[in-house]
Structure 1
Amino acid sequence: MALAVTVGAGAGVGSIVFRWCIQTFTRAFSGHADYTAVPGAVNPHVPWLGPCFVLIAPVIGGLLYGPLVNRFAKEARGHGVPEVMVAVAQRGGRISPKVAVVKTLASALTIGSGGSVGREGPIVQIGSALGSTLGRMVKLTEGRLKLLVACGAAGGIAATFNAPLAGVFFAMELILGTFSAEAFGATVLASVTASVIGRAAFGDVAFLDLPAFHVDHVAQYGLFALLGVVAAVVGVGFSRLLYLIEDACDWVWRGPEWLRPGVGGLVLGVVLLALPEMYGVGYPVLQKATEGGYAIGFLLLLLVGKMVATSLTIGIGGSGGVFAPSLFIGAMLGSAYGTVAHDLLPNTAGAAGAYALVGMGAVFAGASRAPMTAVVILFELTGEYSIILPLMLAIVLATITSHLLSHDTIYTLKLRRRGIDLEGPVRGAQIGTQLVGSFMDPLPSSLRASMELTDAVDLLSLSGYGALPVVDATGRYVGTVTARSVAEALAEEPGAAPTRVGQVAELPTAVTADQPLAQALHALLSAGGTGVPVLDPGHGSPVGWLSHQSALRAVHAIA
């Protein structure tokens, strides 16, 4: 817990330094605190260039951060979150400490010189690197080290967005991929600590001043539901376009990698000259859209422009997040959708700003498939409980639709393109690629669901697995029963306690004989006993038993 507080404090300070760097570089390259607040204005440092300075700023920025990333930390390139995810899933939470420094400078240079990316991905990677470094310094176990990495991510999000709850859910939903009391407690401590430090520096206000939210008519829920489906399509489309443009940049570029951001910066500059609202993160533009400040056609232009500008920034080797661009795209989509709905149904649709807010969360959920984070962060940004119902409806539908449209999220697709499957075997690992059926134990004797618990005690106590399969009267497999669940049942008040095996049987995560061991190990580690039944892939009936010992036999087979 003390380490979680320390990491949270580090992430909070890191957020302050990172935002200061962004502001400093933005003023240096554009002459303004935030160029998107005055899009198309001249740079007072070089007024003779007029608005054309945006052609040069990304080139200079790329020539600075390109060699920095290529020489010291190649993992600092891109949007950051996938690198943290794979570090936790497959590298034991180990992240190089130099990532924090390189990511801070590279991302600040990217955003300050016009790169159309967000600051949440970098601060997640920065905070996670701090957590990993501290954990290894004090020689934490691998499980605790991963948790400290998640604490760094939570603290970074909390301090950046002044959203402590969103930081917690982001860390558990995307970084850890699991929920537990220990993880929740530690990430809350880190998130609260980072938020306190962030609020001391930036004030106790949300980073956006969003309009009041209210639902005027019950029929609006139907419109919000449809918006969730449309937002999922846009979110998945953003993911695909991001990597399509990255592939195009890879195909076109044949020079040294350190020079790529500088040369590619010229193309990005052309985009910024045509649409200066794409400079940097673009929060002033996002806020103006939620207030109804743009016409429908321009909103759609901004939507497409952000997709292209963000994809191009990352494709040329820039460093920055996709969280904020997802919110930006969602705001443009929601505002345009709400304007159309208001024109068609003026007495029912309500204000367009409400749809902009819901669109922000729905597009992010569609791209990342992190529904709880999306709901919580929009709630924290508005501070209004009335947003919850329409937001939950749209985000859940966006998540479901996204899952139907694509197997991967905007984060996991980057890893899969590298040949990394977070749920599959790790390349080069001693255990992982072998099939379960090659190393499983013989199936132990099954228990009848109708058997008295007291009769099952002897069989479970003699079993070496601490769990046994359960079948019904027809011999159909219905789950497993563990020694722990039987012991708990026998310790309850006799009148209310279960009396038969079938009443305490549970279905563990299915493991089939044709599965790789890497996938089956997730089910084995989360099982209540020391083993799980192996099912026939065709009929779903047990054909063997997988235990930790049988999994370890795969190592001897390789040797």
Structure 2
Amino acid sequence: MVGIRAGGSRGTTSAWVRSAPWGLMLLAVLTGAGAGLGSIVFRWCIEQFTRLFSGHEDYAADPGSAHPHLSWLGPFFVVLAPVVGGLLYGPLVQRFAKEARGHGVPEVMLAVAQRGGRISPKVAVVKTLASALTIGSGGSVGREGPIVQVGSALGATMGRLVRADEGRLRLLVACGAAGGIAATFNAPLAGVFFAMELILMTFSAEAFGAAVLSSVTASVIGRAAFGDVAFLELPAFHVDHLGQYGLFAVLGVVAGAVGVGFSRILYAIEDACDWLWRGPEWLRPAAGGLVLGLLLLALPQMYGVGYPVLENATEGEYAVGFLLLLLVGKILATSVTIGIGGSGGVFAPSLFMGAMLGAAYGAVLHQLLPNSAGAVGAYALVGMGAVFAGASRAPITAVVILFELTGEYSIILSMMLAIALATATGRLLSRDTVYTLKLRRRGIDLEGPAQGAPLGGQPVGSVMEALPEPLCASTPLTEAADVLSLSGHGALPVLDTAGRYAGVVTTRAVAEALSEQPDGAPATAGDLVHRPPVVEPDEPLATALHSLADSVGSGMPVLDPERGVPVGWLSHRSALRALHAPAAAPAPESVPA
């Protein structure tokens, strides 16, 4: 009887933690505490492995020097360090957790979007060791990807221990990511927005509250271990006159292009490594480590994360030519590190690239416009956030994390302007980010159906209904109201006087216009037209559902991609019918152009 009561008590407690609002808050706090402790262990491992492989606390602070215990090798020890490191982490990753290879964030995004938040607990251990070995032995990658994956694995493990449902499991994964960022970089706000903008890709009061609790908990633990200071110590910068905003705007556009270029080069080099290597995967990091070592010998500033070099660039200690060399070198070194199978993040490298680009840009402006360009360091700081935004298209995270990493608020307007333009440039040049491109190359669309999912993989053309009779743009509102009321749809397509598709008019819009009718009010259906997002027949249903969910009325037109004319109607009813009609139905005939 005692055992039954005990078991019943445990079951009741577990059920309360799974379902009650305060249960989620408790799990968020515990996840944040785990992420905070994990960040301490992770940074300690990086420091120890860096001392072991280079003999320095941070070799980038004293590039080109010899290893204190291998002085007879001089600076040539950097050729061997990545090889030895690869021999250690290569078999570790291949044997225990292959998902620990690479920069980590895409795997977490995939787990949240399509795998119900499930992440193996062994990822936390393997990722910590593999990433620390990669960075410590000279890998030119960052800490954010590993700590996000480590914290997320801890959150997923916490959720599975209490048998949380998929919704809460996803939230706990995001909480782990937020806590990891907060503790590692002393950036609690950035941790929250990183989780919202990149991991969950949505905002809600519940998710925000849970992420805040996790982030604050982890940040308190991180500050107790590392101190309450800005992660990067930079001098104060100021915008002296309004004309500088135009200069920062140009930098934002250029930085956005550099961010996209980095993404493309990263995966191009990874493809090259895949094509060249024919040996066992566990040996690939060691063999490729020789190439990385030669690159480090030529440019030792690329060793590890490289924050000391970044700080020197913001203080104007490098010439323009050397800054551009460091920019290109970082792109190559990071790409090679990831391509050979190394484990580490791309956030810190993007900051490094942005600092080099911004400092070079500022130095050139200072020579051309000595009285109005302003401080070189201001451009370096803005460039850091802009390149990251161009690569990741996470503008809120970019603004917040730069403010928290540096504690510099004086040029927040310039930073926001450049980051917004960098994000727009990145979106214009590429449909994918540095994170989602990795998944799309594997045939995974985060907005589409999960691989093997029974619903959502079929094309829209197989489930759409016949197109309802369109309205003419010149149709009076009273007549349009009658037609809409008899159509059975909450919206109808509208054609202009030349018979071209103009958009959609909704019952609600017509009713509101008729009820008010002030002077100058809309008089025809064409005056109330709006264009919903484009949905095409070959588009997966799961992708189109995002647009359908936001549509006003009971459906939306499906457009022919070549002619731009509506050929069918996707309604909520037809989408739900796909649940019971998995076989593709013949598409309706197209209406004349």
Q: TM-score, normalised by structure 2?
A: 0.84
Q: For the structure 1 residues 527 and 140, does the alpha-carbon distance in structure 2 shift closer, same or farther, using more than 3 Å as the test? A: farther
Q: Does 1:245 align with 2:269?
A: yes
Q: For the structure 1 residues 528 and 477, does the alpha-carbon distance in structure 2 shift closer, same or farther, using more than 3 Å as the test? A: closer
Aligned to 1:544: 569
Aligned pair partner of 2:215 in 174, 181, 191:
191
Measure how far apart 1:514 and its partner are. 4.0
Structure 2 distance, partners of 1:49, 1:339, is 37
List aligned pairs for 1:422-437, cutoff 5 A.
Answer: 422-437=446-461
Q: Give the match's secondary structure for 1:553.
A: coil
Q: Give the match's secondary structure for 1:364.
A: helix
Structure 2 distance, partners of 1:135, 1:443, is 46
Structure 2 distance, partners of 1:458, 1:377, is 51
Aligned to 1:478: 504
Q: Give the match's secondary structure for 1:32.
A: coil
Measure how far apart 1:554 and its partner are. 4.2
Q: Give the match's secondary structure for 1:533.
A: strand
Q: Give the match's secondary structure for 2:569.
A: strand
Aligned to 2:245: 221
**Could you tell me whether the CA contact under 8 Å between 1:25 and 1:109 is conserved in 2?**
yes
Q: Which runs of 5+ in 1 are unaligned?
A: 490-499
Measure how far apart 1:320 and its partner are. 0.3
Measure how far apart 1:450 and its partner are. 5.0
Measure how far apart 1:182 and its partner are. 2.3
**Could you tell me whether the CA contact under 8 Å between 2:152 and 2:172 is conserved in 1?**
yes
Aligned pair partner of 1:113 in 137, 147, 152:
137
Measure how far apart 1:266 and its partner are. 1.4
Counterpart amino acid of 1:35?
Answer: Y
Q: Give the match's secondary structure for 1:10.
A: helix
Q: Give the match's secondary structure for 2:579.
A: helix
Aligned pair partner of 2:50 in 15, 19, 26:
26
Q: For the structure 1 residues 504 and 313, does the alpha-carbon distance in structure 2 shift closer, same or farther, using more than 3 Å as the test? A: same
Q: For the structure 1 residues 526 and 123, does the alpha-carbon distance in structure 2 shift closer, same or farther, using more than 3 Å as the test? A: farther
**Could you tell me whether the CA contact under 8 Å between 1:450 and 1:472 is conserved in 2?**
no
Q: Which one is further off, 549-558 or 17-26? A: 549-558
Aligned to 2:152: 128
Alpha carbon RMSD of aligned pairs, Å?
A: 3.3
**Could you tell me whether the CA contact under 8 Å between 2:491 and 2:504 is conserved in 1?**
no
Structure 2 distance, partners of 1:100, 1:449, is 64
**Could you tell me whether the CA contact under 8 Å between 1:445 and 1:468 is conserved in 2?**
no
Aligned pair partner of 1:305 in 326, 329, 344:
329
**Could you tell me whether the CA contact under 8 Å between 1:337 and 1:355 is conserved in 2?**
yes
Deviation digits for residues 199-227 of structure 1, max 9, x if unmatched? 11111112110121201122111111111
Measure how far apart 1:527 and its partner are. 5.5
In the alignment of these two chains, the number of paired residues is 545
**Could you tell me whether the CA contact under 8 Å between 1:440 and 1:550 is conserved in 2?**
no
Structure 1 distance, partners of 2:353, 2:494, is 52
Q: Give the match's secondary structure for 1:246.
A: helix
Q: Give the match's secondary structure for 1:429.
A: coil
Q: TM-score, normalised by structure 1?
A: 0.88
Structure 1 distance, partners of 2:125, 2:362, is 42
Deviation digits for residues 408-448 of structure 1, max 9, x if unmatched? 22112211221222233443222233222322356789999
Q: Does 1:408 align with 2:432?
A: yes
Counterpart amino acid of 2:504?
Answer: V
Counterpart amino acid of 2:139?
Answer: G
Counterpart amino acid of 1:278?
Answer: M
Counterpart amino acid of 1:98?
Answer: K
Aligned to 2:582: 555
Aligned to 2:558: 535
Counterpart amino acid of 1:210?
Answer: L
Counterpart amino acid of 1:478?
Answer: V
Measure how far apart 1:253 and its partner are. 1.1
Q: For the structure 1 residues 4 and 443, does the alpha-carbon distance in structure 2 shift closer, same or farther, using more than 3 Å as the test? A: farther
List aligned pairs for 1:43-58, cutoff 5 A.
Answer: 43-58=67-82
Q: Which runs of 5+ in 2 are unaligned?
A: 1-23, 513-522, 586-593
Measure how far apart 1:469 and its partner are. 5.2
Q: Give the match's secondary structure for 1:353.
A: helix
Structure 1 distance, partners of 2:234, 2:465, is 59
**Could you tell me whether the CA contact under 8 Å between 2:114 and 2:449 is conserved in 1?**
no
Q: Give the match's secondary structure for 1:478.
A: strand
Q: Which one is further off, 532-541 or 305-314? A: 532-541
**Could you tell me whether the CA contact under 8 Å between 2:292 and 2:337 is conserved in 1?**
yes
Q: Give the match's secondary structure for 1:386.
A: coil
Q: Give the match's secondary structure for 2:209.
A: helix
Structure 1 distance, partners of 2:570, 2:383, is 47
Deviation digits for residues 63-96 of structure 1, max 9, x if unmatched? 0000000011111000111111122222222111
Structure 2 distance, partners of 1:87, 1:481, is 40
Q: Give the match's secondary structure for 2:578.
A: helix
